[in-house]
Amino acid sequence: MAREPGFDTLAIHAGAQPDPATGARITPIYQSTAFVFDDVDHAASLFGLQAFGNIYTRITNPTTAVLEERVAALEGGTAALAAASGHAAQLLIMHALMQPGDEFVAARKLYGGSINQFGQSFKSFDWHVKWAEGQTPADFEAQITAKTKAIFIESLANPGGVVMDINGIAEVARKHHIPLIVDNTMATPYLCRPIEHGADIVVESATKFLGGHGNSMGGIIVDGGTFDWGKDDRFPILTEPRPEYADMVLYETFGNFAFAIACRVLGLRDLGPAISPFNAFQIITGIETLGLRMQRHCDNAQKVAEYLDGHDKVDWVSYAGLPNDPHHKLQQHYMPKGAGSVFSFGLKGGYQAGIDLVSNLEIFSHLANLGDTRSLIIHPASTTHRQLDVEQQKAAGAGPDVVRISIGIEDADDLIADLDQAMKQLK
């Protein structure tokens, strides 16, 4: 039996071959909107889903296909679909699962943009979120009704660095025959592979650590191939005949990658949030160093968290890598290589101290992103979470005193020195 490639080997080689036309070793950027058919029969087979191939870059593209195959391999899924952003990927997932009037259960500890998308924008589709007020499996089960079509969590929550009990929540999802969707943006498959812990669908903002250099937008959906769509009639997009494809039933035709197909040929095709080939190329290149970068991110973050944890102007630090953190045991179980790059801490000076701190830093960049090689910082209450009221901010782990930090791969001593000089300026 051939050896199973390791993570770093897959990060460089999965999905890619030398270009057959030129021999180029790097995946080319196929900057083409459309692709020539061999003949009329070939075109008909592509449009009818009887054959795989390229028609139009909104649906498929050779550069994007390498990105999709690589992330599917790294996450341990059966297939993947790239989209224009993480938000676009979440829209495509829900489009394949939800009907008007349906509900899904989501963790309160989420990225502020996801909270707004779920709680506000999705109302236009008549899709409704029910929030799990705590983090235990029982908290999620308490919100499930006959209308529930999914559970959504982050493996490593943004901005608080909270590690979720994926196994326990997956058991609840299986009990009620609904898919578990895990946003793995913060952990990446280097730290955590949610499908191995019971997730059915993984979503990531490829804009963050996968690309890793803050230069390209993208989102990824990974089909775990684990959910039995044909068990009942609750997911009609997958189980009912599709008139646009000669009454094909997607789950019967495509089996354990039917969900990824549905997101592509029904969602991406008609809603249109396609990633550009150039962005796909940039993210592919970033993934090649994902393992190296993530380990450095984690090592640096551990040192910075320990520094902040002992600072007299810091009230608390929420980083699962600290032994006294309430999520430390879960981190050791789900993410033994490290607790990630992003975490939050609270300043004793409150809201104004948070604004002053981010204004006084020199190496850290004050911006609304994370997962960059550069260290980044933001005060969520005045930026990413400002659309929420104070109670909602606190529930999301982004209260007035909270500062979110994304530790890059610079020298850790330089980062600590920058924080120290900024802290000294606080009143």
Any idea what the CATH number is for the domain that residue 242 is in?
Answer: 3.40.640.10
The residue among 286, 306, 337 that closes a domain is 286
Q: Both 129 and 235 in a single domain?
A: yes
Tokens 């009912």 map to which residue?
A: 240
**1 within some domain:** no
Q: Both 89 and 185 in a single domain?
A: yes
Alpha helices in 61-165 (DSSP H): 62-75, 86-97, 112-119, 137-141
Determine how many CB atoms are found less than 10 A away from the CB of residue 261.
22
Helix (H) or strand (E) holding 394: helix 390-395
**360 within some domain:** yes
Q: pLDDT of 33-55, one tens digit each?
A: 999 999 999 999 999 999 999 99
Tokens 């901005």 map to which residue?
A: 159
Total domain count for the chain? Answer: 2
Q: Give pLDDT < 70 ranges for the chain.
A: 1
Residues near 312 by Cβ (< 8 Å), separated by ≥ 6? none
Q: Both 193 and 96 in a single domain?
A: yes
Angle between helices 290-309 and 412-424 (to 10 degrees): 40
What's residue 369's pLDDT?
85
Q: Where are the beta strands (DSSP E) in 238-364?
A: 314-318, 342-347
The residue among 254, 286, 318 that closes a domain is 286
Tokens 């990630």 map to which residue?
A: 340
Any idea what the CATH number is for the domain that residue 374 is in?
Answer: 3.90.1150.10
**2 within some domain:** no
Q: Both 138 and 264 in a single domain?
A: yes
Q: Both 298 and 379 in a single domain?
A: yes
- In angstroms, rounded to a whole number, what is the distance separating the alpha carbons of residues 148 and 151? 8
128 and 144 in contact (C-beta within 8 Å)? no
The residue among 225, 251, 286 that closes a domain is 286
Strand order in the sheet with 376-378: 314-318, 342-347, 402-406, 376-378, 365-366
- In angstroms, rounded to a whole number, what is the distance separating the alpha carbons of residues 124 and 134? 27
**353 within some domain:** yes
**199 within some domain:** yes
Helix (H) or strand (E) holding 70: helix 62-75
Q: Which pTM does this prediction carry?
A: 0.95
What's residue 387's pLDDT?
77
Q: β-pairing, 103-107 with 148-154? A: parallel
Which two structure tokens, joined as six digits, stand for 46? 């592509």
The three-state secondary structure class of 159 is coil
Q: Both 57 and 168 in a single domain?
A: yes
**308 within some domain:** yes
- Residue 335: give the domain boundaries: 292-424
Q: Both 282 and 296 in a single domain?
A: no
**39 within some domain:** yes
Q: Both 21 and 155 in a single domain?
A: yes
Q: Both 23 and 95 in a single domain?
A: yes
Q: Both 88 and 26 in a single domain?
A: yes
Q: pLDDT of 365-376, one tens digit each?
A: 998 888 999 999
- In angstroms, rounded to a whole number, what is the distance separating the alpha carbons of residues 153 and 162? 11
Q: Both 413 and 268 in a single domain?
A: no
Determine how many CB atoms are found less than 10 A away from the CB of residue 137.
20
**299 within some domain:** yes
Strand order in the sheet with 79-83: 79-83, 219-223, 201-205, 180-183, 148-154, 103-107, 128-132
- Radius of gyration over every alpha carbon of the chain, rounded to an integer in angstroms: 22
Which two structure tokens, joined as six digits, stand for 299? 């090592």
- In angstroms, rounded to a whole number, what is the distance separating the alpha carbons of residues 120 and 321? 34
Q: Both 267 and 331 in a single domain?
A: no
What's residue 1's pLDDT?
45
Q: Where are the beta strands (DSSP E) in 34-147?
A: 79-83, 103-107, 128-132
What's residue 393's pLDDT?
80
Please, which residues bridge with residue 404 across strands? 344, 378
